[in-house]
Structure 1
Amino acid sequence: MRKSSFALLFSLIVFAFNLAHAQDEGVGLAQIDEMVPSQYDFGLPGWVPVPLEPEGNPTTAAKVELGRYLFFDKRLSLDGTMSCESCHSQALAFTDGRAVSRGVTGEVTPRNSMSLANVGYAPVLTWGNPLLRHLERQALVPLIGKSPVELGLADREAEVVDRLAAEPVYRQLFPAAFPEAKGKISLATIVRALAAFQRTIVSVRSPYDRYRYEGDVDAVSDAVIRGEALFFGEKLECHHCHNGLHFADTVLHERNRTGEVAYHNTGLYNIDSKGAYPANNIGIAEITGRPEDMGRFRAPSLRNVALTAPYMHDGSIATLGDVIDHYAAGGRTIKSGPNAGIGKNNPLKSSFVPGFTLTREERADLIAFLNALTDTSFLIDPRFANPWLQKEKKK
């Protein structure tokens, strides 16, 4: 099987990282593979299970705080103009509101920025790479990846270390977070802290949560309840790909430590009437090399979905209403241009996208249900906010 260029790039990144940091006792990526229930207090409601974490990177308050500072720090980019927040804004449920994201050099990524809400429960990361299963490794892609360039730090690790070492805040945070490494600032400790912070980004306090899991019958309207019935009914088939705790395909936590990850072709494209997708965005087929995987992407969580537009892996659908139209039609029809085709007739399309018909009231009810998945407290939770701005406000 031919190995794709992206898979090869990923393998080289992981190999280079492990090799370069083998001397960092206790902080190498080789120790993050075994996942165990976290002992950290995430402040979760009783009905929410604890996420898993790598045995070699236990979540601690000091590590989370360091990761939060790093997440919002523009020093972690080539020219100091971008941070992780640039593509993952708290106000937008940690997305960026763009169809596709733009890196520090102006190069655009081929895919839409996924929400980081509840990312610690995800068995795989990104839209279409089944190899990326750990936040510690995934962080390497935006930091030092070259195709596309995002934060642009490839071959500049020493420079970044110097930048961070010059900041007084980090002279306290790194030793507190990594006493076993004597507070060493390195790419290894940076990604481990970022991963620890991201695992704490949990959103489970929407009106629907209060209604369904906490018994607050007044938390949602009758329209939401009717929309819930539609969503979980066989007429629409939504729940087959968006189910469970986070309205995603599969989640891992203390009560579910294994699970197969499904990827789906929704008939978004059918360029050649044989199922082809745009060449720069073919789904997991890029990794597996299997023709039948053309156009198959991971189903994202629908929590806070009203805030994460535009939609789909390439941001090519603008509104929730348009998304419903796409699934109602059983696939998207593009009438002209290089991507023209009838998605409904895509031979590789999932059987869970047969199409359906909704009345005007049913459509309104479904949208009401999706809106009820918005966790407004999550959007302003100070635990996930920019600490640099918080410091400025205190002055």
Structure 2
Amino acid sequence: MLPSAGLLLTSLLSAGFLPRETSTWRWTLPAGVSAPPIPADNPMTTVKIELGRRLFYDADLSANGTMSCATCHEQKHAFADGNRTHPGVTDESGRRNVPGLANVAWFTPLNFADPAATTLETQAATPVFGAHPVEMGMAGREAEIGKRLGRDSCYQTMFARAFPENSGRIDFPNVARALASFERTLISYGNAWDRQQLAPNAQAGSALFARDCAACHSGANFTDLSMHRLGPADPALPDQGLFEKTGIDADRGKFRTPSLRNVALTGPWWHDGSARTLDEAVAKHGLTHDAAEAKQLIAFLTALSDTEFTQRQSLAMPEEACGKRL
């Protein structure tokens, strides 16, 4: 009788054919930036990150094999998408604009209006299994993910190396752990503001930003990670934001402050993608600036773009796995 896949992997691990210990991830961060919190049950390793990178670009995580994480989170858009919203595999319209993913390792909550999405591991289920709206369309088909990926001998090897503690089990919890590990490497600290190389116009804009915007767009990632509403609540709007999770009237129309890192690359803007330009996005805040000040503020926001991040090869779709071209 042939051994089960789990017993086979356990035997290989015991015999030393697959390493029990994998290389731990070494953070390379600017001075003053601390490593993000990491769940105790999902330590960072290079092999897990490698697996997560491949999974991030794999459309087999969607019902009809047409949609991967990267379908909506494109590197050239700082892992946003360039569209107002993005339809899912059933062509149902998206409800909210796709956010960029720069420095998501430090974010909680992770969604626009869901305070329960506090870790990348738990958030992964929203696009894969969510039904309001349908994105990747795998609700009720969780077991199929393991079956699909398990047919690939390279995935068998990669999961075994990434998760020796559970014999390389190929299932969605391990998929989510690998994806989260890769997403924690989406680090962007290389814009002109980070380098203290703002042009004069952007420097003037930074003073305006500090005066008018930094109360909510605060800290190293330009977000207080809190939920706010601009203007009065409108119960007639189709998207009620935080209210949909809490049922508290005061939460109608509240959404989490988005990060402004790479903001010039992640448009259109606003939680529903309704602002087609940065000028429109700024105007929605009700701020009053003359033409010169508006240009200065936009110059500052544009200076928050990290073009190296959008071209970093270690974040791009992998060209090979297990020594073979994909």
Q: TM-score, length-normalised on structure 2?
A: 0.88
Match for residue 247 of structure 1 among 198, 206, 222:
222
Pairs within 5 Å for 1:8-157: 40-157=25-142
- Measure the CA separation in 1 of the matches of 2:193 and 2:135: 35
Q: CA deviation at 1:391?
A: 9.4
- Measure the CA separation in 2 of the matches of 1:141 and 1:378: 25
User: Aligned in 2, Cα 1:394/1:151: closer, same or farther, shift over 3 Å?
Assistant: closer
Unaligned runs of 5+ in 2: 1-23
Deviates more, 1:358-367 or 1:224-233: 358-367
Q: How high is the sequence identity, in percent, across the aligned residues?
A: 42
Q: Match for 2:223: what amino acid?
A: A
Match for residue 312 of structure 1 among 256, 264, 270:
270
Q: 1:69·1:388 contact (CA, 8 Å) conserved in 2?
A: no
- Measure the CA separation in 1 of the matches of 2:123 and 2:205: 35
Q: CA deviation at 1:190?
A: 0.6
Q: CA deviation at 1:390?
A: 9.0
Q: Match for 2:228: what amino acid?
A: H
- Measure the CA separation in 2 of the matches of 1:116 and 1:284: 21
Residue of structure 2 in register with 1:362 after alignment: 293
- Measure the CA separation in 2 of the matches of 1:117 and 1:130: 19
Q: Are residues 1:374 and 2:305 paired?
A: yes
- Measure the CA separation in 1 of the matches of 2:324 and 2:277: 35
User: Aligned in 2, Cα 1:43/1:162: closer, same or farther, shift over 3 Å?
Assistant: same
Provide, for residues 266-315 of structure 1, a one-character-per-residue CA deviation record: whole Å limited to 9, x for no partner.
13xx6xxxx21554311111111111111111001000000111111111
Q: RMSD between aligned alpha carbons?
A: 1.9
Provide, for residues 183-225 of structure 1, a one-character-per-residue CA deviation record: whole Å limited to 9, x for no partner.
11011101111111111111111011000xxxxxxx2211111
Q: 1:63·1:197 contact (CA, 8 Å) conserved in 2?
A: yes
Structure 1 segments of 4 or more deviating over 6 A? 389-395
Pairs within 5 Å for 1:216-365: 219-233=197-211, 236=212, 238-250=213-225, 262-267=226-231, 275-327=233-285, 330=286, 355-356=287-288, 358-365=289-296
Q: 2:319·2:325 contact (CA, 8 Å) conserved in 1?
A: no
Q: Match for 2:294: what amino acid?
A: R
Unaligned runs of 5+ in 1: 1-38, 212-218, 251-261, 331-354
Q: 1:100·1:315 contact (CA, 8 Å) conserved in 2?
A: yes
User: Aligned in 2, Cα 1:241/1:390: closer, same or farther, shift over 3 Å?
Assistant: farther
SS at 1:378 equivalent: coil
